[in-house]
């Protein structure tokens, strides 16, 4: 029983971080139907911002989180204006974004690799290697803090979307872009705002990832399938679905890693992606597409 509880705690803590990693990806797709394959590479960019702030200035990663978020949100605005805004009226916009963001991911990987090489790095504040001990259980402080902060950020995002005027506009745009525009919503501004928030969440996730996982520029290739699994299982565009799917899959992966082998835990996400596309393509909380 102690072993099961131990694995469950570790799975839930990491699940919170993965939920934050996927929430920006889900938000951007929900509002603009952008399949952002560059999202993991932008998370790594946020991790590098936090890494160098810690290494050069001694700034704690959690303290650096809002700064990294703002920096990445500003980069998000620039990327949207330069790459994605022109084609919003295209009937095949989603398909085009796959190619554009894949190319962006390669550019970001190459730029980070050129600047920092492919050496694995990790931020090491004191709590990253410490733990709480409760009887036979140990709870790593780094994973616990990262999981809690991630869920707090997602809760704040949920409250913003549910109760603020801008949140109403974002949700209206998500549900029906054309109807929202007819009702006076400036969907172009909302699109820029939502993309900035999504990339800002990537920056926040990068700050937490920086002391939970080791990272290097090419790491994004391992994360994209994991994040797509979480977002697709939860339902594309559903923040709640992303959280539920991330927690569920992380716990399953933790048990697989403990009882079968660490190299098999990642397979959990691939199998989940395959099964959900086969059985319920709209995901747990997604709406079934209408047949023409």
The tens digit of pLDDT for each residue in 86-120 reads 777 777 888 888 999 999 999 999 999 999 988 99
For residue 263, what are the contacts with CB-CB under 8 A and spacing of at least 6? none
| Residue 292: predicted pLDDT | 40
How confident is the model at residue 288, as a pLDDT? 61
Of 194, 206, 221, 182, the residue nearest 77 (C-alpha): 194
pTM value > 0.85: yes
Residues whose CB is less than 8 angstroms from the CB of residue 129 and which lie 6 or more positions away in sequence, other chains included:
142
pLDDT bin (cut points 50, 70, 90) of residue 291 is very low
Provide the pLDDT confidence category of residue 246 given band limits of 50, 70 and 90.
Answer: very high
Strand ranges for the chain from DSSP E: 131-134, 137-140
Q: How many Å apart are CA 212 and CA 128, to the nearest integer?
A: 7
- Is residue 77 within 8 A of residue 245, CB to CB? The reply is no
The Cα diameter of the chain in Å comes to 60
Which of 66-70, 235-239, 286-290 shows the highest mean pLDDT? 66-70
How many percent of the chain have pLDDT more than 70?
97
The pLDDT, as a whole number, for residue 289 is 54
d(CA 169, CA 185): 6
- Closest alpha carbon to 215 in 76, 25, 43: 43
Which two three-digit tokens encode residue 249? 């899959």
Give, to the nearest 10 degrees, the angle between helix 165-175 and helix 187-212. Answer: 100
Mind listing the pLDDT tens digit for each residue in 34-77? 889 999 999 999 999 999 999 999 999 999 999 999 999 999 99
104 SS3 class? helix
The DSSP 8-state label assigned to residue 81 in this structure reads I
Residue 251 has pLDDT above 60, yes or no: yes
Cβ proximity of 24 and 39 under 8 Å: yes
Where is mean pLDDT largest: 142-151, 175-184, 227-236, 282-291?
A: 142-151
Nearest CA among 34, 47, 227 for reference residue 122: 47
CA distance 29 to 219: 22
The DSSP line for 195-212 is HHHHHHHHHHHHHHHHHH
148 has pLDDT over 90: yes
Predicted confidence band at 285 (pLDDT cuts at 50, 70, 90)?
confident
């Amino acid at each position: 029983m102690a072993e099961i509880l131990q694995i469950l705690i570790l799975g839930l803590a990491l699940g919170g971080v993965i939920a934050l990693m996927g929430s920006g990806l889900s938000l951007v797709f929900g509002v603009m139907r952008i399949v952002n394959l560059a999202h993991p590479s932008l998370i790594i960019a946020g991790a590098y911002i936090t890494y160098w702030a810690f290494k050069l200035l001694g700034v704690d990663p959690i303290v650096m989180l809002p700064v990294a978020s703002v920096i990445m949100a500003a980069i998000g605005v620039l990327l949207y204006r330069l790459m994605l805004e022109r084609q919003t009226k295209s009937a095949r916009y989603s398909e085009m974004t796959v190619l554009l963001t894949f190319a962006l991911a390669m550019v970001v990987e190459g730029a980070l690799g050129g600047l920092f090489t492919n050496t694995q790095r990790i931020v090491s504040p004191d709590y990253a290697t410490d733990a709480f001990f409760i009887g036979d259980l140990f709870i790593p402080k780094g994973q616990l803090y990262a999981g809690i902060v991630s869920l707090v950020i997602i809760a704040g995002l949920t409250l913003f979307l549910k109760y603020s005027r801008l949140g109403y506009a974002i949700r209206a745009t998500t549900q029906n872009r054309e109807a929202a525009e007819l009702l006076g919503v400036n969907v172009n501004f909302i699109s820029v705002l939502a993309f900035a928030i999504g990339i800002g969440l990537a920056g926040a996730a990068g700050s937490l990832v920086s002391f939970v996982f080791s990272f290097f520029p090419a790491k994004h290739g391992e994360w994209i399938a994991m994040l797509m699994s979480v977002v697709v299982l939860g339902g594309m565009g559903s923040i709640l679905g992303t959280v539920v799917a991330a927690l569920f899959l992380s716990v399953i992966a933790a048990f697989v890693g403990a009882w079968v082998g660490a190299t098999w835990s990642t397979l959990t996400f691939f199998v989940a992606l395959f099964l959900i596309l086969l059985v319920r393509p709209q995901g747990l909380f997604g709406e079934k597409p209408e047949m023409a």
